[in-house]
Amino acid sequence: MKKGLLLLMLGVAAGYQVGWTDAQKNSESVVERVIAKVRGSDPDRYRNDVDAQFDRLEKR
């Protein structure tokens, strides 16, 4: 039990340190950077506006 609690505390401390270092280097959050990377070169492709998607498909 004590060993598991110690490992949990070490993991939280290491994660906090990594997060703090990342926040000092980057102005955008991790979530914003991941979403920008997933979207790639065509961000309009992944929008949730159904009407705009139908309009785009009708123009083809």
Give per-residue pLDDT as tens, 7-47: 999 999 999 999 999 999 988 888 888 888 887 767 666 66
Tell me the torsion sign for CA atoms 8, 14, 24, 34. negative
Cα 28 from Cα 35, distance rounded (Å): 11
Provide the residue range defining the domain that includes 36: 2-59
Total of domains in the chain:
1
Q: How confident is the model at residue 54 (pLDDT cuts 50, 70, 90)?
A: confident
pLDDT of residue 45: 63
Cβ partners under 8 Å of residue 45, min gap 6 = 39
What's the confidence (pLDDT) of residue 60? 72
State the pLDDT at residue 43.
Answer: 65
pLDDT, position 40: 73
DSSP track, 3-48: HHHHHHHHHHHHHHHHHHHHHHH-SS-HHHHHHHHHHTT-GGGG--
